[in-house]
Amino acid sequence: MIEINSLSKKFKKVNAVNNLSLSIKKGELFGFLGPNGAGKTTTIHMLTTILPPSGGSATINGYDINKQSDEVRKSIGIVFQDMTLDDKLSAYDNLKIHGILYGLENNEIEKRIEEMLALVELSEKKHELVKTFSGGMKRRLEIARGLMHTPAVLFLDEPTLGLDPQTRRHIWSYIIKLKKSGVTILITTHYLEEADALCDRVAIIDHGKIVAIGTPKELKSNIGGNLISIECDKPKKMAEIIEKNNFGDFKVLDEKCTIKINNGSEIIPKIVNEAHNNGVKIESIDFHLPSLEDVFIHYTGKTIREETPGRGMKHGHP
Amino acid sequence: MAILEFRKIYAVWYREIKKMINSKPRIIGSLGMPIFMLLALGGGIGALVKDFNYQAFILPGVLGQVLLFNSIFSGVSVIWDRQFGFLKEMLVTPTKRTTLAIGRMMGGATTSVFQGILILIIGMTLNIIPVISAIDFALLVVLMFIIACAFVGLGISIASTIEEAETFQVIMNFIVMPIFFLSNALFPTKQLPNWLQTVAGLNPLSYAIDGFRNIIIGESQYPLMLSFTYCSAFLITIVFVSTYLFKKAKI
């Protein structure tokens, strides 16, 4: 449904998107995961014909983004990162104008408005001005609008940015509903739990490049083993202890030591013992399966919230 | 294909109309200034000049003012659309930018003409001007629509070339005010200094207002035909300029 072929975008000297290639199947819910500034939105802007690429090409629904922008536009629905509703108009008018601009017939517009508002549970708000809506309601209306013209592909650029956790889950439930209806969805997010909860496949993007791609499960199992996170007062000292005792691969990020181990939780008492004997005070220990957050740190050497590189990875001998 | 584009123009027009209907206080608010002009300035200066019905004279000028202000700001509000993202939403639809610009011109002009008609009604109700015939009214509406479309287009051109909304005040002071004061809106141009006469003689607003005067009170400097021709030529030029600039505008 989406074929991306070494797509690039240069802004002055910065490579915002660097030789990106990717193939997304029909009906797939695909996620771009990366920190702010990784090139996710720029990629979306190129795929939706807002920005011309500096190099490479892509097809959506079989249409070339460089040569067939009108056909591409008819094939896609977009929910932008920033709000793009006219808040001086009612929900109905926002959808109606959108429908006409996509060339829908009047009776079809009326029908789709009813269906879409029902889908996002805004039927009762049909004739109310958008400026009276909450952030979550506006988002839902934007999703409804993006689907008005029955696009083959729906782009969701940070659909839950700035929403509270409860509203976020609410939006997720709509996205899952949409996926069941068969539309191909490309979502960008920098919320790991969002990618984990929604996506069939995820591409981790950093500095305009895909650094890892796969199902959340695959990505997590790529790391292998289980993880133990230790919070303590002397992380450096703790690192030495781990290295000396060959507890496993580890890295230190902020005040935390994360160790990758291949065996089970029986290693924990040993760690605690060694720490105690060496005068390191452990504040907490957490034993878990790798999360997407760990995957992200593994591939980019930093947490998703920070732009500066992490303190690097040391390898012990398992 | 052509029919499809007409419907799209209608969609953009519909938005402007709906926005006006949804903000009724703004209509009343924007009538405040012209009514003061008409009553206070018109009444005050009217008391100074004898043998000349000044209030009736400036009503067409005030009409021109309403059209100028509302239309330019309607066009310039493209800046807000860009700021609040709605422009992006419209530009990713499979719609030609020319269509969007023309729809906008017609929508903005319709709301301006609507306000102009309110001024006319006020003028006739207060007996400032005589009640006009249906044909004259139709002629007025056409001329008002032409000049209003052109000013919306001028606003779109400005909005397409400047980036920030903060330049709003600059537009007011250096574009809108000069167009208004360097016209025949408030004074008959014949008595003006030469330079001012020349400038006012080039100003499209002067031709529109002269046309209004011709129709409403039967006084004019130019033939009515010239008013229509000059305003239409201005509109055609603006349509080309504004659609060109709007096409090149960044999102």
- Which tokens is B89 given? 């939403």
Contact call for B86 and A86, based on CB within 8 A:
yes
**ipTM score for this prediction:** 0.88
First and final C-alpha spacing in chain A: 43
Domain boundary among A214, A235, A250: A214
Give yes or no: residues A50 and A83 share one domain: yes
Q: Tell me what the mean pLDDT of segment A42-63 comes to.
A: 90
Q: What is the mean pLDDT of chain A?
A: 84
pLDDT at residue A313 is higher than 80:
no
pLDDT of residue A304: 66
Single-letter amino acid code for the residue at A311:
R
Using the Cβ of B84 and the Cβ atoms of chain A, whether some distance falls under 8 Å is answered with yes
**Whether residue A151 sits in one domain with residue A129:** yes
| Domain with A161 in it | 2-214
CB-nearest partner of A101 from B84, B88, B95: B95
What local confidence, expressed as pLDDT, does residue A125 receive? 93
**Domain finish residue from A161, A182, A214:** A214
A146 lies in the same domain as A89: yes
Give the domain CATH number at A276: 3.30.70.980
B82 touches chain A (CB under 8 A): no
CATH number, position A201: 3.40.50.300
Q: Which of A165, A194, A214 delimits the end of a domain?
A: A214
Together in a domain, A182 and A226:
no
CB contact under 8 A, A84 and B23: no
- Spatial CB neighbours of A211, under 8 Å, sequence gap ≥ 6: A204, A205, A299, A300
Q: Which of A44, A45, A75, A86 to mutate to test the interface with B (most CBs of B within 10 A)?
A: A86
Based on the domain organization, do A45 and A156 belong to the same domain? Answer: yes
Mutation target for B interface from A84, A106, A108, A150: give the one with most B CBs within 10 A: A84
Structural domains counted in chain A: 2
Residue A162's CB is within 10 A of a number of other CB atoms, namely: 12
Q: Look at residue A314 and tell me whether its pLDDT is greater than 60.
A: no
Give B153→chain A minimum CA distance, Å.
21
Are residues A157 and A243 both part of a single domain? no
Do A71 and A136 lie in a common domain? yes
Q: Choose the closest CB to B8 out of A74, A80, A100.
A: A100
Residues of A in contact with B12 (CB under 8 A): 97
pLDDT for A78 equals 92
**Is the Cβ pair B11, A129 closer than 8 Å?**
no
Residue B207 has which token pair?
């031709």
| Secondary structure (3-state) at B220 | coil
Count Cβ atoms within 10 A of the Cβ of residue B244 and give its class: 0-12 exposed, 13-18 middle, 19 or more buried: middle
Q: Are residues A43 and A131 in the same domain?
A: yes
Angle separating helix axes A91-101 and A106-119, nearest 10 degrees: 130
Token output for A144: 């409804």
Per-residue pLDDT in tens (0 to 9) along chain B, 251 residues: 567 789 999 999 999 999 999 888 888 888 888 999 898 988 888 888 878 889 999 999 999 999 999 999 999 989 888 888 888 889 889 998 999 999 999 999 999 999 999 999 999 999 889 999 999 999 999 999 999 999 999 999 999 988 776 777 788 788 999 999 999 999 888 888 889 889 999 999 999 999 999 999 998 899 999 999 999 999 999 999 999 999 888 77
CB contact under 8 A, A101 and B22: no
pTM, 2 dp:
0.82
Report the residue from B7, B23, B89 with minimal CB separation from A84.
Answer: B89
One domain for residues A16 and A165: yes
- The whole-angstrom separation of Cα B90 and Cα B99 is 11
Cβ atoms of A256 and A230 within 8 Å: the answer is yes
Residues A187, A242, single domain; the answer is: no
Q: What is the pLDDT, as a whole number, of residue B114?
A: 95
A138 and A104 in a common domain:
yes
**Minimal CA–CA distance to B122: which of B50, B51, B56?**
B56
Q: Are residues A38 and A117 in the same domain?
A: yes
